[in-house]
Chains A and B, each alone.
Chain A
Amino acid sequence: MRPEFGIIQNWIEPGSRVLDLGCGDGSLLHYLKSTKQIHEIGLEIDPDNMEKSIFNGINVIQQDLDRGLENFQSHSFDTVLLAQTLQALSNPAELVDDMLRIGKNGIITFPNFGNWKSRLYLFTRGRMPVSKFMPHQWYDTPNIHFCTVKDFDALCREKNITVLTRTVVDSQHQGSWAMKAWPNFLGEIAIYHLTKRSGSQV
């Protein structure tokens, strides 16, 4: 279990309907199914991951997120998840809109490019950061739309998205008072709980 799962599960209502965009091997949905008895659908395109999702007993649909989510009805899910996938989308802003159309609320996690390690790497070496956490070279990375916590905050303001909770953790998924004070500098992974409904109960 990845430690951010614990944070995410706090925001999931028991027995609710959850859609996971890019569900990978289905481990997050599997975790939420056992802790919150959710009704789940995961979307995935990698054949190996799909098979693992099936093995994990997860409902998984082969669908490319870059081709949109038109086949999902508005308000048909309680929560729509997008974990560590935002930065790999060809049109992330459109997908965030779609998420909050389909779900009453959304949960997004992404690697924070504004983290001090990325800044230091770029500052001292003058090259795109490569780390254990983000191991790809610029030319072969699936991560084509990196952003920082500040960037994402700006997008939310622009789109009138209500940020219910924002939290950041490091790569060991530990939070601290310092991270709360300087999230864009110290946080490695950003976790957002969002909604587009004014005054809505989530």
Chain B
Amino acid sequence: MSASIPTDSVGLVTPQSYHFDEPLELRSGKVLDVYDLTVETYGTLNGEKSNAILVCHALSGDHHAAGYHSATDKKPGWWDACIGPGKAIDTDLFFVVSLNNLGGCAGSTGPASINPETETFYGPDFPVVTVRDWVKSQLRLMDRLGIEKWAAVIGGSLGGMQVLRWAISYPQRLGHAISIAAAPKLSAQNIAFNEVARHSIISDPSFHAGHYLQNNTYPKQGLMLARMVGHITYLSDSAMRAKFGKTVTDFEATGTNFGRDLRTGKLSFGLNVDFQVESYLHYQGERFSENFDANTYLLMTKALDYFDPSVDYEGNLAKAFANSSCKFLLISFSTDWRFPPERSREIVNALLKAGKEVSYLEIEADQGHDAFLLPVPRYIRALTTYLKRVHQELAAHAS
């Protein structure tokens, strides 16, 4: 192993692919006859198979949650801050399962996969998948791995919504539901941002009604724009001021700089990129567009828009949780304006109404929605402490 890999990392990891040929009936009524799921696991499954934790990814995440694929990787998996030996999701204690959801573009069957019926890319014909469908496919993976009950299912943002769905659909199959920076359903404002992202992709001339791969191209501009808009909603105003106001070292001046650092030190008086924030968004958009499938992005945003577990219960979220038997931990972040603390409190209040066991923390953090991925000390400490308890419970149960 390379000396550059930190000791608290799970180290080098290799994704595995699982093939499923039992047809999966989707919420839309369509059926996916065969599919593959790409999965990474960290840590060791104990003899009783009781120490497994499922990690659910968000909009642009995938199965690569921790560690490195090669010693030359610049960055570890997306939740390396939380997953590893001695970390909050401690791989010395737990067996962690992370998969790329259906419709994804990192290995699991999705729009960029070959449709066995047509022998060409699924493209726009890949069925719309919902959070419920993902959780159903995760259940099949769980059965394949021989796991009877997850010690915990954990996720942030869209991942946190999968956690809630687990607690509702398969109440006997998880001990703890840990939903971070999530919401019980999207607001009109959330959907509006998603629609801007979708429209920017669909209106890109290179989109070819979703058949861009057959045309050996992809909607780069559309994806870039979608990611740039999305990225703004992940950061808070204060996070942006701090990130793009570095030239101002004096604290008082930070307040008046508003993160308006210039890229070259002077204004161009043209349509060039003048400010650091512009340059940053361009960079993020560009990098994303090169690594992410446009059809997947469209599907993922639709899954977000459609999420509302209360629809089957006359809009009553408390009723949706009526059969849940796990314990819940909800966490929100003070400057998250995408899914602000009030949205997590809606979930907490529904759980209280349903008489469930729930804990809730509202973490003071400047980083906005992105905070759930970052090593915010109080957040990490709370998650660490909570999961230590989960592990103690397992040990007490076994003895």
Q: How many A-B residue pairs have CB under 8 A?
A: 48
Query: Which listed residue (B355, B359, B378, B388) contacts A60, Cβ 8 A?
Result: B359
Query: Which listed residue (B349, B352, B359) contacts A54, Cβ 8 A?
Result: B359
Taken together as a complex, chains A and B put the C-alpha atoms of A76 and B361 apart, in Å, by 22
Please give me the residue from chain B that is nearest to A42 by CB atom: B359
Tell me if A59 is interfacial: C-beta within 8 Å of chain B: yes
Please give me the residue from chain B that is nearest to A56 by CB atom: B389
Q: Does A57 lie within 8 Å of B389, measured CB to CB?
A: yes
Q: Does A54 lie within 8 Å of B348, measured CB to CB?
A: no
Please give me the residue from chain B that is nearest to A40 by CB atom: B357
Q: What 1/0 flags go to B214-248 for Cβ under 8 Å of A? A: 00000000000000000000000000000000000
Tell me if B36 is interfacial: C-beta within 8 Å of chain A: no
Q: Does A55 lie within 8 Å of B360, measured CB to CB?
A: no
Q: Does B389 lie within 8 Å of A62, measured CB to CB?
A: no
**Which residues on A sit within 8 Å (CB–CB) of B263?**
none
Taken together as a complex, chains A and B put the C-alpha atoms of A62 and B355 apart, in Å, by 17
Q: Which of B267-290 contact A (CB under 8 A)?
A: none
Taken together as a complex, chains A and B put the C-alpha atoms of A60 and B386 apart, in Å, by 11
Q: Does B357 lie within 8 Å of A39, measured CB to CB?
A: yes
Tell me if A96 is interfacial: C-beta within 8 Å of chain B: no
Bin chain B's interface residue count.
20 to 34
Taken together as a complex, chains A and B put the C-alpha atoms of A73 and B351 apart, in Å, by 11
Q: Does B348 lie within 8 Å of A61, measured CB to CB?
A: yes
Q: Which of A54-70 contact B (CB under 8 A)?
A: 54-55, 57, 59-63
Tell me if A50 is interfacial: C-beta within 8 Å of chain B: yes
Tell me if B327 is interfacial: C-beta within 8 Å of chain A: yes
**Which residues on B sit within 8 Å (CB–CB) of A72?**
352
Please give me the residue from chain B that is nearest to A70 by CB atom: B349
Taken together as a complex, chains A and B put the C-alpha atoms of A47 and B349 apart, in Å, by 20
Taken together as a complex, chains A and B put the C-alpha atoms of A73 and B345 apart, in Å, by 15
Query: Which listed residue (A39, A54, A61) contacts B385, Cβ 8 A?
Result: A54
Query: Which listed residue (A51, A54, A57, A62) contacts B362, Cβ 8 A?
Result: A62
> A51, A59, A62, A73 — which one has the most chain B CB atoms within 10 A of its CB?
A62
Q: Does A76 lie within 8 Å of B352, measured CB to CB?
A: yes
Tell me if A71 is interfacial: C-beta within 8 Å of chain B: yes
Q: With A51-B381, A51-B385, A54-B386 in contact, is A71–B355 under 8 Å at CB?
A: no
- Secondary structure class of chain A's binding surface, majority of residues: mixed
Taken together as a complex, chains A and B put the C-alpha atoms of A70 and B388 apart, in Å, by 32
Please give me the residue from chain A that is nearest to B344 by CB atom: A62
**Which residues on A sit within 8 Å (CB–CB) of B386?**
54
Query: Which listed residue (B358, B378, B393) contacts A61, Cβ 8 A?
Result: B358
Tell me if B353 is interfacial: C-beta within 8 Å of chain A: yes
**Which residues on B sit within 8 Å (CB–CB) of A28?**
none
Q: Does B382 lie within 8 Å of A54, measured CB to CB?
A: yes
Q: Does B352 lie within 8 Å of A73, measured CB to CB?
A: yes
Taken together as a complex, chains A and B put the C-alpha atoms of A61 and B350 apart, in Å, by 13
Q: Which of A16-32 contact B (CB under 8 A)?
A: 17
Tell me if A108 is interfacial: C-beta within 8 Å of chain B: no
Q: How far is the CB of A103 from chain B (nearest CB, A)?
A: 14
Q: Does B355 lie within 8 Å of A76, measured CB to CB?
A: yes
**Which residues on A sit within 8 Å (CB–CB) of B382?**
50-51, 54
**Which residues on A sit within 8 Å (CB–CB) of B359?**
54, 59-61
**Which residues on A sit within 8 Å (CB–CB) of B349?**
71
Q: Does A59 lie within 8 Å of B385, measured CB to CB?
A: no
Q: Does B385 lie within 8 Å of A73, measured CB to CB?
A: no
Q: How far is the CB of A78 from chain B (nearest CB, A)?
A: 12
Q: With A59-B358, A59-B359 in contact, is A54–B389 under 8 Å at CB?
A: yes
Q: Does A50 lie within 8 Å of B361, measured CB to CB?
A: yes
Tell me if A12 is interfacial: C-beta within 8 Å of chain B: no
Q: Does A62 lie within 8 Å of B352, measured CB to CB?
A: no
**Which residues on A sit within 8 Å (CB–CB) of B352?**
41, 61, 71-73, 76
**Which residues on A sit within 8 Å (CB–CB) of B353?**
73, 76
Taken together as a complex, chains A and B put the C-alpha atoms of A59 and B360 apart, in Å, by 8
**Which residues on A sit within 8 Å (CB–CB) of B361?**
50, 62
Q: Does B381 lie within 8 Å of A41, measured CB to CB?
A: no
Q: With A54-B385, A57-B389, A73-B352 in contact, is A62–B378 under 8 Å at CB?
A: no
Taken together as a complex, chains A and B put the C-alpha atoms of A17 and B356 apart, in Å, by 11
**Which residues on A sit within 8 Å (CB–CB) of B327?**
59
Q: Does B357 lie within 8 Å of A59, measured CB to CB?
A: yes
Taken together as a complex, chains A and B put the C-alpha atoms of A99 and B392 apart, in Å, by 33
**Which residues on A sit within 8 Å (CB–CB) of B388?**
55
Q: Does A61 lie within 8 Å of B389, measured CB to CB?
A: no
Q: How far is the CB of B160 from chain A (nearest CB, A)?
A: 17
Q: A57-B389, A61-B348, A73-B352 known; 6 other A-B pairs, CB under 8 Å?
A: A51-B382, A55-B385, A59-B357, A60-B359, A62-B362, A72-B352
Q: Which 8 A-B pairs have the closest CB atoms?
A: A71-B349, A61-B360, A54-B385, A59-B357, A62-B362, A59-B359, A55-B385, A60-B359
A-B contact pairs, 29 of them (CB 8 A): A17-B355, A41-B357, A41-B358, A50-B361, A50-B382, A51-B378, A51-B381, A51-B382, A51-B385, A54-B359, A54-B382, A54-B385, A54-B389, A55-B388, A55-B389, A59-B327, A59-B358, A59-B359, A60-B359, A61-B359, A61-B360, A62-B360, A62-B361, A71-B352, A72-B352, A73-B352, A73-B353, A76-B353, A76-B355
